[in-house]
Amino acid sequence: MSNDEKLLAILALGPDAEEEEIRTAYRRLAKRLHPDSSRDPSTATQFARVTRAYKLLSARPRTAPGSASGPQARYRHVLAAGDDLFALGQILASDPDAGAREAAARRLGLSGRTAAYVFLRRALYDPCPGVAEEAVRSAALLGARQAAGEIAALYSRSAPRLREAILKTAAATREPLFKSTIAAALRDPDKALAELASSVGAVL
């Protein structure tokens, strides 16, 4: 994981996130975690981490704006759906292209509406691990507590790669919704993952 990738993970974003997505994710997280807005004092540390990550990311040299290879450029219909949760949910449920489903899962997370989880949860059952991984990040971005049990179940039925990705998202975002997943991961037969889980468990 490169340094940038680590910073993006703190904002619950994948390695290919674009400038605009970084801004949106930060805005959503700040709104949810800012000590003035959150009634839970423990989010203050989380807020500080998120802010630091965002500052470092904004200071880095910019890539060419609107690079043609970015996922946004490739999936215009996903972009065109905008914040229409229904349209995004439709893409998640029916688009044959896994890349489009991934992009839709990400947009649902960036919508910042907790309610978007009703559409997002379908992606946790997606046959393509990439889509499920994106959905886990989006659930973390939304802070959807209702996702806890389903993400834990996803963890227990997935291959090691996706299991690792889920734990990394948990480690980076430190969202409480991952508590159940960590509890399951502590007994992971893969020793490295079990160790990762116990270190995440310690900070959660």
Query: Considering only residues 82-101, where is the footprint of another protein by CB under 8 A?
Result: 84-86, 89
Task: Kindly indicate which of the ranges 2-10, 54-62, 130-138, 179-187 contains the residues binding another protein, using the contact rule CB under 8 A.
Answer: 179-187
Closest by CA position to 100, among listed 134, 124, 66, 50: 134
Determine, following the binding rule CB under 8 A, whether residue 114 of this chain makes contact with another protein: yes
Question: Max CA-CA distance within the chain?
Answer: 44
Cα 178 to Cα 170: distance, rounded to the nearest angstrom: 6
To the nearest whole angstrom, how small is the minimum distance from the Cβ of residue 95 to another protein? 19
Helix (H, G, I), strand (E, B) or coil at 97: coil
Residues in contact with another protein, total (CB under 8 A)?
Answer: 38
Cα 151 to Cα 173: distance, rounded to the nearest angstrom: 15
Query: Considering only residues 24-63, where is the footprint of another protein by CB under 8 A?
Result: 31-33, 36-40, 43
> In the complex with another protein, which residue's Cβ is closer, 41 or 96?
41
Determine, following the binding rule CB under 8 A, whether residue 169 of this chain makes contact with another protein: no
- Copy the structure tokens of residue 78: 């996903």
The answer to whether residues 184 and 155 touch, using CB atoms and an 8 Å cutoff, is yes
The answer to whether residues 62 and 47 touch, using CB atoms and an 8 Å cutoff, is no
Determine, following the binding rule CB under 8 A, whether residue 191 of this chain makes contact with another protein: no
- Copy the structure tokens of residue 2: 């490169």
Which of 16, 113, 128, 130 is in the footprint of another protein by CB under 8 A? 113
Which of 1, 44, 79, 183 is in the footprint of another protein by CB under 8 A? 183
- Return the axis-axis angle of helices 129-142 and 98-110, rounded to nearest 10°: 0
Determine, following the binding rule CB under 8 A, whether residue 148 of this chain makes contact with another protein: yes
Interacting residues toward another protein by CB under 8 A = 31-33, 36-40, 43, 84-86, 89, 112-119, 121, 125, 144-146, 148-150, 152-153, 155-157, 180, 183-184, 187
